[in-house]
Structure 1
Amino acid sequence: MRRLRLGVLISGTGRTLLNLLRQQQAGALPAEVVVIVSSRADAPGNAFAAQFGVPLVVVDARQVKGSAFAEAVYAALDQYAVDLVVMAGFLKRLPVRPAYAGRVINIHPSLLPLFGGKGMYGERVHQAVLEAGVKVSGCTVHFVTDELDAGPIILQACVPVEDDDTPETLGARVFAEECRLYPEAIRLYAAGRLRIEGRRVRILPPAPADERSDPRVLSGDA
């Protein structure tokens, strides 16, 4: 099975990107990050491009507006023949073009559909979880659609919410699960084991080695 070509989209620290690059370096991902696209020229995560020898394309959302922003991002992804787009703390809305449907994934630091939507990212999510008084939180890997944080869910992981948690302590517990869950979702995608059935994702059993095909997502109509 050929290695997936990943395009990773970032806007900030790049810690999710760093986890994926380390997984790749350790041989734990059947994938290679072939381009990093950043929405900020001053994002700290941009430095990982030089550190790991990955091309960096900056499309600064403060300078490139509207449809021109999406055009520039997709031009970079097309240039590097990306198989799968991985959002890793990417804080800009990106309409999903038909050619990329089922090829864009994101990880969110809550159990969607709870605590998602506009303005819900980073510690804001964990603060909202604590204010709601729920006893469990977690993270969600999902396919990206044009509806914010509402695409078909691939995987979820739960963590307990402790009585003395702060947004920082809860966030650290959730992020530890993110570091495990996101690579697992990419491995499932690479193995062709994800089937989208309406708003749900079915995880298929492993195929025999001689029946594995190129990485892809199956639709329920296939």
Structure 2
Amino acid sequence: MNADLTLAPVQNRPLKLAVLISGGGTTLTNFLEKRAAGELNIEVPLVIASRPDCGGIAKAEAAGLRCEVIRRRDFENTQDFSAAIFNLCREAEVDLVTLAGFLSLIHIPDDFQYRVMNIHPALIPAFCGHGFYGHKVHEAVVARGVKVSGCTVHFADNEYDHGPIIGQSTVPVKGTDTPDEVAANVFQAECELYPHVIRLFAAGKIKIVDRRAVIEE
């Protein structure tokens, strides 16, 4: 990775997103709702699901989006699995790959460095890494008794929940909150943070300095 890099803006056209899903597609739905409201200037030429029973597949198809299923089990290793994903992303000429509840580890090729984002439902580096995903994160938050949780958008690299942090949003956690209540509050924060970071990317306002993401206002 380059130590110092300013990401170029996407000008005079919508940002082309690939959206990778493993579940219900709620983040995809949020992107499409923001687009419909005029709050996110995007196209989604490609959705990739990690399994054929993802609820998000029906949502993608209902929106008229191309959706491909690529299962990890169909490949011998992570490299081949990742190559299949990024070959489709190249064919679709996407500007940015967004991981939207995508649970499989991928290896990012050089031409997609700093062009793959992930959102994690906690404040990295807390409650993250292998095994911390979905509801398990919120269960751990409640069990630990922390007073603040939230979400993190970061550039993905070849480790779980790693790579430069771009943005974070916090939510309070009450002592009486259940994991479901924490999850609902965190998701509301995600619905605002992820589109905000995508807009920053499109505007060329993210700079990488010493492997840290710096926002240029």
Normalising to structure 2: TM-score of the pair? Answer: 0.91
1:166 aligns with 2:166: no
* Residues 64/41 of structure 1: CA separation in 2 closer, same or farther (3 Å cut): farther
Please state how far the C-alpha of 1:147 moved relative to its aligned partner: 2.3
Please state how far the C-alpha of 1:132 moved relative to its aligned partner: 1.4
Aligned residue among 177, 185, 195 for 1:183? 195
CA distance in 2, matches of 1:63, 1:150: 25
1:16-60 Cα distance to aligned partner (Å, 9 max, x none): 111011111222112111100111011110012211111111112
2:151 is aligned to: 139
1:29 is aligned to: 40
CA distance in 2, matches of 1:94, 1:159: 29
1:56 aligns with 2:60: no
Amino acid in structure 1 at the alignment position of 2:40: L
Please state how far the C-alpha of 1:133 moved relative to its aligned partner: 1.4
CA distance in 2, matches of 1:94, 1:4: 22
1:117 is aligned to: 129
2:23 is aligned to: 12
Please state how far the C-alpha of 1:200 moved relative to its aligned partner: 1.7
Matched residue of 2:44: which SS? strand
Please state how far the C-alpha of 1:124 moved relative to its aligned partner: 0.4
CA contact (8 A) 2:47 2:60 kept: yes
Higher relative contact order by CA 8 Å / sep ≥ 6: 1 or 2? Answer: 2
Please state how far the C-alpha of 1:148 moved relative to its aligned partner: 1.6
1:129 is aligned to: 141
Amino acid in structure 2 at the alignment position of 1:11: S
Runs of 4+ in structure 1 deviating by more than 3 angstroms, as ranges, are: none
Matched residue of 2:74: which SS? coil
Amino acid in structure 2 at the alignment position of 1:72: A
- The answer for unaligned runs of 5 or more in structure 1 is 206-222
CA contact (8 A) 2:82 2:108 kept: no
Amino acid in structure 1 at the alignment position of 2:138: H
- The answer for unaligned runs of 5 or more in structure 2 is 1-10
Normalising to structure 1: TM-score of the pair? Answer: 0.89
CA distance in 2, matches of 1:68, 1:142: 24
CA contact (8 A) 2:145 2:175 kept: no
Aligned residue among 38, 44, 59 for 2:49? 38
What is the number of residues matched between the two proteins?
A: 205
Please state how far the C-alpha of 1:108 moved relative to its aligned partner: 0.3
2:210 is aligned to: 198
1:113-171 Cα distance to aligned partner (Å, 9 max, x none): 11100010011001111111111000000000112212111110110011111110000
Matched residue of 2:161: which SS? coil
Amino acid in structure 2 at the alignment position of 1:105: M
Matched residue of 2:65: which SS? coil
Root-mean-square deviation (Å): 1.1
